[in-house]
Amino acid sequence: MSESGIDGERRRFIAFALTPSLIVLFAVAVLPAIYLIVTSLTPFQLTTPGSATDFSEPLRNYGLLPGDPRFVNSLAVQAKLSVASVLFQVLLGMGLALLLNVPSRFVEFARTFFLIPMVLPPIVVAVIWKLIYAPDISPLYYAAQALHVTLPALTSSVDFALTSIVIADTWEWLPFTFLMVLAALQTIPDEYSEAALVDGASKLQIFWYVTLPFITPILVISGMFRLIDSVKAFPLIFLLTGGGPGTLTEVTNYYAYLLAFDTNEIGYSSAVTVVMLLLVCGISLGLVWMGQRKKALA
């Protein structure tokens, strides 16, 4: 067989192997995005015939957004929820990673169990916290009762509803930041901290001047990952608070869901979703940009 025969045969194989996947990726990533944008330009409601192709006022939905108090509120709720839970996840994850960063068979074995909250189905995590927050059966309320403290119904209380979501979300995703930070910690050569120790540095100084600079990039990156993901928090809010009380825990994702599948405002919901997508893309691009800068610096 001639050289070009092998090449041609190889090229055909590669084309054959790639084409189905590329078609599927196009169909699943590109087409829905186009469709979503097109729908966001219409006043589409499932109950109003012809509204799906009504482009008479294409920017109407976007014009309504700034004046929609529920939308503006949902962005604020999202910001509060994301910032609080990401902050806790990064700080606690770092603490946990520092605690478990020891060479020991037992610790290595135990590490797997620390990952459990993250691998559980998100809806099971929501069920777990539903049981913890349900006054008649919760260990939390038993404990409070034993101490003669009266706890309010946490998930329907104005003061604690958002906090209860933050706690559950932090519990679920703490293992992620823990894993990332631990991986970074294990790349730090022991010689650095040993040298600092010989020079008389305290443990706190070693953490501050040796360890922290090493793990700062990974803290930022894992925080960004969680920030992007936090926009999707759905099962927790769906099961624990339903966006309430009032709209106190109604994040943008949940508002878009209610608009589309509760009140049938598909067009308007698409516009909300497009704005959300743009925000996520912005953060993602920031992440990619930081990754490149890190590579350039290394």
212: contact with other proteins by CB under 8 A: no
Nearest distance from C-beta of residue 200 to other proteins, angstroms: 13
* Helix, strand counts (H, E) of the chain: 15, 0
Q: How far is the CB of 297 from other proteins (least distance, A)?
A: 21
Positions in 81-110 near other proteins (CB under 8 A): 96, 99-104, 106-107, 110
Look up tokens 């309430």; give the residue: 244
Q: For the residues of 218-285, what is the DSSP string, one character each?
A: HHHHHHHHHHHHHTT--HHHHHHTTT-STTTT--HHHHHHHHHHTS--HHHHHHHHHHHHHHHHHHHH
Which amino acid, residue 66? P
User: 226 to 245, contacts with other proteins by CB under 8 A?
Assistant: 226, 228-229, 231-232, 234-235, 238-239
Q: Is 79 in the site for other proteins (CB under 8 A)?
A: no
Question: Which is nearer to other proteins, 57 or 194 (by Cβ)?
Answer: 194
CA distance 169 to 118: 10
Question: Under a CB-based contact definition with an 8 Å cutoff, are residues 134 and 155 in contact?
Answer: no
As measured in angstroms, the least distance from the Cβ of 261 to other proteins is 6
Q: Is 39 in the site for other proteins (CB under 8 A)?
A: yes
Name the minimum Å distance from CB 159 to other proteins.
21
| Residues near other proteins (CB under 8 A), total | 94
Q: Which of 165, 225, 237, 248 binds other proteins (CB under 8 A)?
A: 225
Helix, strand, or coil here: 145? helix
| Residue 244: CB minimum distance to other proteins, A | 16
| Binding mask of the shown chain, residues 115 to 154, with x at each position contacting other proteins by CB under 8 A | xxxxxxxxxx--xxxxxx-x-xx-x--x--xx--------
Over 111-134, what HEC string results?
Answer: HHHHCHHHHCCHHHHHHHHHHHHC
Please report how close the Cβ of residue 78 comes to other proteins at its closest, in angstroms: 11
